[in-house]
Every structure is written in structure tokens, then in C-alpha cells.
């Protein structure tokens, strides 16, 4: 079903507000919408909900577009790619909202409200003091048409309120099942503010109607909005979409996932060095359990298997350990050149300057150790940082009488290295030459490799020797072997 999107009539939308980098929870919403569109041969619309921003404010939607592209969750229609239902930024849709306001005023579903905010606040307090649920008392709904006209003619500022109809609102949520609200708990709400802006609930309904959205997939913090939105659809005489409200991501302590739990925005996860494939895979698994025990899913595989109806209703607890595990898995699968390219900025940031061949060798050498890309400098340091053997606990391995001979032999082989840096295959050959000659002299295994390793790194464990040989550079190798030899001779003299 992949690839032929756009034909089935299914239209979903991801509708972020551009208030900074995407929160990981919003990415999950974007992913669900993407998967739903792809699975059902539908269309994903990206709509930027910037109605709350001042007209003059710059719309910070570039970060959102970049993040979605990075994750591979590109929309089929949106502010960057266009489409037949544009514009796709709410700030550019005022005339569409205004037409809908006029329609509701004309058909009696909306009315102007002149009540000043202070009066509304006071009435709200009084209602609360009486133990009542605060709700607009419809003062302005009772104004005569003549009075309304006269006040408007005088230039009095008015908000526009939606007149909430009596009765119940019921919808069948794809995840939660049937949900019913009594309109008694919903006061006549504002659809257009006195400052001329349109309310969230109103703009969303007009857009979902005008953009022919068939399925609204969003967080369950919007469930209560859905009642208001359904009333607006009915009043506008437009069919309502189906709704699926997914659970929200919580921190392990049950609170809202926030800064104090670590990274929350996609920009932060990217900066730490999480791979998009791991993030997507993790977010899909967070409240969805595939039929089998499989945990690793590419976006294409998710498209085939993911069913929104099977999402758990329980809160999704964010488990960084699982994300880390998946990220490590994806890092280990990266082709060397790609890993080398991806770790480059982290190495540069840590002041580790490597030649291209050297970086490729280092990438391979540390690949299995990395959980996130920003771990790279910690493991790569070995290839560039100088050390003094006297300060290294592992240097005791150089105290044995056979060590000077081993290091001299190694030096002879490494001095014949054809290049400064060697890719692993060539470095293996050099090591093989050394191993063979050493064997003939009765030296093998630890007796051979440990002194070489300690002389080269000051440590008794680390990446495979051929990575060290290829990545350290001939000059550094010879320097270190000389230092190791001098140290071994000194320690032999003292013994
Ligand atoms: N702009 C809303 C938000 O960022 C989304 C609204 C919706 O999906 O209806 O929460």
C-alpha cells in the first residue's frame, strides 16, 4: 500500500503550533498521522497553527519542516510543498475564517458579545463562589438585534461567541471507543476575539472542513476540544472527521515529560546523536505492541504493520533505556562512511581533528561502543590523546623481560607501513606480517599483542589492534613504540 498515497480519499493532518522545536510527543503525533496516511493510501497534510502569534511575528516553522524531513515524515501537502487546499499556515487563512464567522452569524449559531473581560472575570468568580461551573451567562445573546446593531455602529468592540446547542455530543473515538459530552458543561465560547483573532477550536474546524480532513489523530489532551469542534461542524453544515486521541507521553515518574527529565525536543535528541530511524522506531513501539515479539521496525515496515486502533490507551511512559538500546542497534548497522560523516561534527566539537581515512578507521573501531553519536569523542580520544606510560596502570605489562624484543620487532614492521593511515584491511596485513614473524620467534597471543597495545594506547583494553594500527598514524605509532621501548628498558634496569 505504500507509495500510492493520495488516492484513497483518506486525508489526515499534523497541525503543530510553531512555538519552538517539536516536542517528542508532537513527533509521535506526526508519526501516527504519517503511518495512517501511508497505510491507507491517503494524504498527509501539514498545517502550521500560528493563530496565536502576533501578525508581525515571524513564523518559526522552518525548524518543524526540517525536523519532519530529518525523520522522514514529510507531508504530501503543506506550506513548503503547497497543495490544492492551501494556504497551509493559519495566519494566512483569515478570510476563510471570516467567511465562516459570517455564516454562523447569519444562521443564528453565533452572536456578538460586548461583555468586557473584567465583567466576565467577576461573574466567573461569583459562579465559582456559588459552587457553580463557570460558564458564560448569555447576557449578549439576549440583546435585541437593534441594540446589537446600534452598539456595533457606535464602534463598540465585540467578540463573536458560538451559541452552544442543547443536548449531547457523542463520537466514536478510534482508540477510546464512544465518548459522550453533555453540552450543559460547555458555555458559549468565543470563536473570534475582540482583537480580530480566531480561536483555536474554530480555526481548526474551519480548516479541517475546508481541507477535507477525514481523520483527526492527536493527543488525548484535545478530547474535550472535540465536543466543541463537533458542534461547530454541525453548525457549519459540514461532515465531521473521525477522531483518534492517543495517550500522552509521561516521564517514568508519571509526570509530564519535561526538561528536568532530559531532552524533550527533537532538536535536542538530534544534537545528542540519536538517529531518526531509532526515534521513529521507538515512538512507534511506545504504546503499540506488534503481533510478534519483533522490536525493530523501519518506517516502511511500520507502514505495513502499524494499526492505530491497536494503540494502548494507557499513558506512554518514556523509557530512555529502550531508546538508547535501539539507537545503538541502528548505529551498529550504519555503513562506515555514513557513521564517519555523522560523528565528524562531534569529533570536531571536541577538538579531535582526524584525517578522512583515519576518521573512517576510528568510526569502525568505535562503532560497537556508541549508544549515541555524541559518545564518539570519548572513544575516539584514544587515537589522538598523548599519555605518559609512568601514569598508566596498564604499563606494568611492559615490565616483562621479553617486551623490548617484542616492541623492536613491532617497530620494524610498522616502520614499513605504506601509508600514514591504513584502512582496516591494509592494517590487518601489517599486523599479520608481525604475527607471522613473531610466531617464528616463539611469541604469540598475549605475549605479543599486550605489550604492543599498551605501548600504543597506555591501556590494556580497547579496539582491535588493526584499528589502532590503521588509525593512529605511522608517525605516532613509531613515537609511541619508542617511548614504550625506553620505558620497558628503564623498568627492566630497575627490576
Ligand atoms: N495545534 C494543536 C497543537 O499543537 C493541534 C491541534 C489539533 O491537532 O487539533 O496542540
Phi-psi region of 174 (alpha: psi -120 to 50; beta: other; left: phi over 0): alpha
Fold of 259-332: 1.10.1160
DSSP 11-61: EEEE----SSSPBHHHHHHHHHHHHHHHHTT-EEEE-B--TTS-TTS----
Nearest ligand 1 atom, CA 204: 9
Q: What is the pLDDT of residues 190-242, one digit of tens each?
A: 999 999 999 999 999 999 999 999 999 999 999 999 999 999 999 999 999 99
What gap in Å lies between CA 343 and CA 282, rounded to an integer? 22
Residue nearest to atom 3 of ligand 1 (CA): 16
CATH class of 11-249: alpha beta
Peptide bond into 238 cis (omega under 30): no
- For 258, other C-beta atoms within 10 Å of its C-beta total 10
φ, ψ for residue 38 (rounded to 5)?
A: -65, -45
| 42 close to 5: Cβ distance less than 8 angstroms | yes
| 379 close to 346: Cβ distance less than 8 angstroms | no
Q: Which cell numbers hold the place of 403?
A: 617486551
Strands 190-192 and 159-162: antiparallel
Domain 389-494, classified CATH 1.10.3720.10, yes or no: no
Between helix 465-472 and helix 424-440 the angle, nearest 10°, is 120
- For 222, other C-beta atoms within 10 Å of its C-beta total 16
Degrees, nearest 5: CA angle 343-349-354: 60
Q: Which cell numbers hold the place of 29?
A: 503525533
Residue 111 pairs with which residues in a beta bridge?
Answer: 161
Give the CA distances from residue 459 to residues 336, 408, 462, in Å, rounded to whole numbers and listed in that order: 25, 19, 7
Residue 259 annotated to the active site? yes
Between helix 62-71 and helix 276-285 the angle, nearest 10°, is 80
What gap in Å lies between CA 230 and CA 243, rounded to an integer? 10
Give the binding-site residues of ligand 1, using a 6 Å CB cut-off. Answer: 15-17, 49, 204, 218, 222
Q: What is the pLDDT of residue 288?
A: 85
- For 180, other C-beta atoms within 10 Å of its C-beta total 9
Q: Which cell numbers hold the place of 389?
A: 606510560
State in Å: Cα 340 to ligand 1 middle: 38
Q: What is the pLDDT of residue 494?
A: 59
Q: Which of 103, 124, 135, 259 is catalytic?
A: 259
State in Å: Cα 199 to ligand 1 middle: 12
Residue keyed to cell 460586548: 114
Q: What is the pLDDT of residue 20?
A: 75
Q: What is the pLDDT of residue 495?
A: 53
What gap in Å lies between CA 6 and CA 43, rounded to an integer? 5
Q: What is the pLDDT of residue 4?
A: 42
Residue nearest to atom 7 of ligand 1 (CA): 15
Model confidence, pTM? 0.90
| 320 close to 349: Cβ distance less than 8 angstroms | no
Residue nearest to atom 10 of ligand 1 (CA): 16
| 214 close to 240: Cβ distance less than 8 angstroms | no
User: Domain boundaries in the chain?
Assistant: 11-249, 259-332, 336-383, 389-494
Q: What are the pLDDT tens digits along the chain (495 aa)? A: 333 456 789 999 999 988 778 999 999 999 999 999 999 999 999 999 987 665 434 556 888 999 999 999 999 999 999 999 999 999 999 999 999 999 999 999 999 999 999 999 999 999 999 999 899 999 999 999 999 999 999 999 999 999 999 999 999 999 999 999 999 989 999 999 999 999 999 999 999 999 999 999 999 999 999 999 999 999 999 999 999 999 999 998 888 888 888 888 999 999 999 999 999 999 999 888 887 788 999 999 999 988 888 888 888 899 999 999 999 999 999 999 999 999 999 999 999 999 999 999 999 999 999 999 999 999 999 999 999 999 999 999 999 999 999 999 999 999 999 999 999 999 999 999 999 999 999 988 999 999 999 999 999 999 999 999 999 999 999 999 999 999 999 887 755
Nearest ligand 1 atom, CA 218: 8
| 257 close to 250: Cβ distance less than 8 angstroms | yes
Residue nearest to atom 4 of ligand 1 (CA): 16
Strands 11-14 and 177-182: unpaired
Probe target for ligand 1 pocket from 19, 49, 78, 198, with the most ligand atoms within 8 Å of CB:
49
Amino acid at each position: 500500500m505504500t507509495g500510492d498515497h493520495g488516492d484513497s480519499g483518506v486525508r489526515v493532518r499534523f497541525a503543530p503550533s510553531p512555538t519552538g522545536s517539536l516536542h517528542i510527543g508532537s513527533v509521535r503525533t506526526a508519526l501516527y498521522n504519517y503511518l495512517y496516511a501511508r497505510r491507507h493510501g491517503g494524504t498527509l497534510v501539514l498545517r502550521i497553527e500560528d493563530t496565536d502569534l502576533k501578525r508581525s511575528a515571524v513564523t518559526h516553522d522552518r525548524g518543524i519542516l526540517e525536523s519532519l524531513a530529518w525523520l522522514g515524515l514529510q507531508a504530501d501537502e503543506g506550506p513548503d510543498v503547497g497543495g490544492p487546499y492551501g494556504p497551509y499556515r493559519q495566519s494566512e487563512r483569515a478570510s476563510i475564517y471570516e467567511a465562516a464567522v459570517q455564516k454562523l452569524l447569519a444562521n443564528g449559531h453565533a452572536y456578538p458579545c460586548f461583555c468586557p473581560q473584567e465583567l466576565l472575570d467577576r461573574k466567573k468568580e461569583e459562579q465559582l463562589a456559588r459552587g457553580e461551573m463557570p460558564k458564560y451567562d448569555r447576557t449578549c445573546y439576549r440583546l435585541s438585534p437593534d441594540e446589537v446593531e446600534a452598539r456595533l455602529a457606535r464602534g463598540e468592540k465585540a467578540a463573536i461567541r458560538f451559541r452552544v446547542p442543547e443536548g449531547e455530543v457523542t463520537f466514536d473515538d478510534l482508540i477510546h471507543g464512544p465518548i459522550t459530552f453533555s453540552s450543559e458543561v460547555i458555555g458559549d465560547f468565543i470563536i473570534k476575539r475582540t482583537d480580530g483573532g480566531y480561536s483555536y477550536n474554530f480555526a481548526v474546524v474551519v480548516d479541517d472542513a475546508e481541507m477535507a480532513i477525514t481523520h483527526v489523530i492527536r493527543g488525548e489532551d484535545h478530547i474535550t476540544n472535540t465536543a466543541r469542534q463537533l458542534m461547530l461542524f454541525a453548525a457549519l453544515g459540514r461532515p465531521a472527521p473521525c477522531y483518534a486521541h492517543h495517550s500522552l507521553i509521561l516521564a517514568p515518574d508519571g509526570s509530564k515529560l519535561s526538561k528536568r527529565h532530559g531532552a524533550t525536543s527533537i532538536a535536542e535528541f538530534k544534537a545528542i546523536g540519536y538517529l531518526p530511524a531509532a526515534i521513529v522506531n521507538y515512538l512507534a513501539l511506545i504504546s503499540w505492541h506488534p503481533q510478534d515479539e519483533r522490536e525493530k521496525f523501519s518506517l516502511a515496515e511500520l507502514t505495513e504493520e502499524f494499526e492505530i486502533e491497536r494503540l494502548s490507551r494507557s499513558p506512554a511512559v518514556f523509557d530512555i533505556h529502550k531508546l538508547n538500546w535501539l539507537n545503538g542497534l541502528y548505529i551498529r548497522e550504519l555503513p562506515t562512511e555514513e557513521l564517519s560523516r555523522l560523528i565528524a561534527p562531534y569529533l570536531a566539537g571536541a577538538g579531535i581533528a582526524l584525517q578522512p581515512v583515519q576518521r573512517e578507521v576510528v568510526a569502525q573501531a568505535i562503532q560497537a561502543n556508541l549508544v549515541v553519536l555524541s559518545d564518539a569523542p570519548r572513544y575516539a580520544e584514544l587515537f589522538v590523546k598523548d599519555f605518559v606510560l609512568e601514569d598508566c596502570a596498564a604499563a606494568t605489562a611492559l615490565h616483562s623481560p621479553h617486551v623490548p624484543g617484542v616492541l623492536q620487532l613491532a617497530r620494524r614492521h610498522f616502520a614499513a607501513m605504506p601509508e600514514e593511515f591504513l584502512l582496516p584491511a591494509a592494517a590487518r596485513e601489517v599486523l599479520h606480517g608481525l604475527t607471522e614473524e613473531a610466531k617464528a620467534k616463539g611469541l604469540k597471543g598475549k605475549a605479543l599483542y599486550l605489550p604492543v597495545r599498551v605501548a600504543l594506547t597506555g591501556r590494556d583494553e580497547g579496539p582491535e589492534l588493526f584499528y589502532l594500527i590503521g588509525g593512529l598514524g605511522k608517525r605516532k605509532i613509531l613515537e609511541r613504540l619508542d617511548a614504550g621501548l625506553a620505558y620497558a628498558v628503564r623498568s627492566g634496569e630497575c627490576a
